[in-house]
Structure formats: C-alpha cells, structure tokens
Amino acid sequence: MTVVVAVLAAGALAAGAVSGRGPALEPSVHSVPTSATSADPATSGTPARPAPSGTPDPTAVPSFDRSAYSIDDPASLWLVVDKTRPLNPVDYTPTDLVDVPVPHIWPPKLRREASDAVVALFGAFTAETGLQLQSQSSYRSFSTQVDVYNQDVASNGQAFADTSTARPGTSEHQTGLAIDISALPGDCSLEACFGDTRHGMWLAQNAWRFGFLLRYPADKVPVTGYGYEPWHFRYIGFELATEMHDTGVTTLEEFFGLPAAPGYN
C-alpha cells in the first residue's frame, strides 16, 4: 500500500509539474494522494473508513444472467445439444482436449477445464467416502460416435439405439464436456442401478459442486429424449451448475426455456 501511495503521489506531482498549473485549478489530481494516504493506517495512523451500514442495495446483488453465454456455440460451456439441436458444425472438434489423469476403462480426454473439474471431483469423492471412481468414456469424436451408434443399432435395433446412443453430431461426448463415470472396481457400470450405489448417490448429490450436471434424470425422459443415465455427467461450469442446483431445475432444456427433445426432427 505504501508503494502504491508513493507512486500515486509521484504521478500526481509529476502531472502538476508538467501542466504547470496550481492546486486550485486541479483539485481532483491533488486529492488522489491525500485520500489514499488517509485510508492507509500504516502511513497515517487513521483507521480505514468503515463500510456503510444499513440495508444492502438490492440492485447491487448480481442476478443470474441466462443469456451470459451462448447455448448454440459448440465451444460454449452452456451449449445445449440434444436430438433437436445438433452440433454446428456436426463434426465439431474441441481445440483444448487434454488427457484426464484419473483411473479409467478407456484413456479419457476432455477439454482442459472439464478435465481439471473431474480431477477435483474424483479427489473429493475419495476424500469424503474412501471409495474410488473411474472414467468409463469421455470425449468421443464424430467418427467414433458413428461407430458407437452403428454398433448399438446392429445389436439392439434403431428404435432402442435412439433411446441410448446419440446419433453422430448430437452427442454431448463430442463436445469434450461429458463423461460417463463408474465405480472402481466396477459395480452396475452404465446401468440404472449405478444410481443406487454409494458412488452414484454421491455423484447425484455433489457433482454440481464441481460444475457438473446429471444430464439425463430418471423423471425427465420426455424432455431429454434419453433414458435415465446416472453415470453421464456434463460439465457446465460452476456458475450454471450452482444456479440449477439452487433453483431445482434439472435439465438444460427447461432451464433455458427450450422445447423438449424426445426424438429427432
């Protein structure tokens, strides 16, 4: 603080010297070092002025701005992709993918911010429960999603596949912001019963603290178009995750006032 005051004072004096004008003509310039000094107890011995008391101004409390970020840009943390909102471009590839340093079935990649959040989430889970999580699947490219979808269709038929695997270009996994999480060792991996494990229950309650959303809740199938997936978590950032948690809205479609996406157009 002392250094700052000295710099301010020097600057003000220099400004006055250059202009060649007296203090009476430039009260604002010369008031800078004076007020700064009086607010610094170390220099002046005068306590800093206390904050104003009274009722907080409600207009000073920032309200959540639902239009702060794009829900259309595939690189936005708030992107909403579902069966009616394909990625644009459909072969979008994130530019900041990194290896996620956590236990896994398949080597996981996510966008850097989401990766950091997964590491924090896994660490907190283990610290709070003594148990372990692993990544089942995370980033999948457009071409990988072609293979995954075609395999599901071949094994289970298209009608079923469309309730469990996104068509290429409509998967959250292609954004680098989604991860399928399972227990380590595996227990109900990629099955609805994962939601009843200690792992699944902890994730459902706590993922928001790390910026994640349980994207396909059991009671929102008509909205999301997907069956209950207690293992699939989408990174949306701490700010939005907290707002959705606090307001009790559980799908991105409902939060942003978008139409339900039960099927492909």
Interface with Zn ion by CB under 5 A: which residues? 180, 232
- Give me the least distance between CB of 173 and Zn ion, in Å please: 6
Query: Which residue is catalytic, options 26, 128, 191, 229?
Result: 229
Would you call 229 a catalytic residue per the annotation? Answer: yes
- Give me the least distance between CB of 178 and Zn ion, in Å please: 6
Task: Pick between residue 125 and residue 194 the one whose CB is nearest to Zn ion.
Answer: 194
Residue 233 near residue 213 (C-beta atoms within 8 A): yes
SS3 133: strand
- Give me the least distance between CB of 233 and Zn ion, in Å please: 8
- Give me the least distance between CB of 218 and Zn ion, in Å please: 15
**Which segments within 166-249 are labelled E, that is strand?**
178-184, 212-214, 232-235
Task: Pick between residue 30 and residue 167 the one whose CB is nearest to Zn ion.
Answer: 167
Q: What does the alpha-carbon distance between residue 1 and residue 247 come to, in Å, rounded to a whole number?
A: 42
Task: Pick between residue 162 and residue 180 the one whose CB is nearest to Zn ion.
Answer: 180
Task: Pick between residue 12 and residue 175 the one whose CB is nearest to Zn ion.
Answer: 175
Using CB positions, name the residue nearest to Zn ion: 232
Q: Where are the alpha helices (DSSP H) in the chain?
A: 2-19, 27-38, 41-44, 112-129, 142-156, 158-164, 198-206, 221-224, 238-247, 252-255
Residue 202, number of CB atoms within 10 A of its CB: 17
- How would you classify the pairing of strands 97-99 and 109-111? antiparallel
Catalytic residues: 229
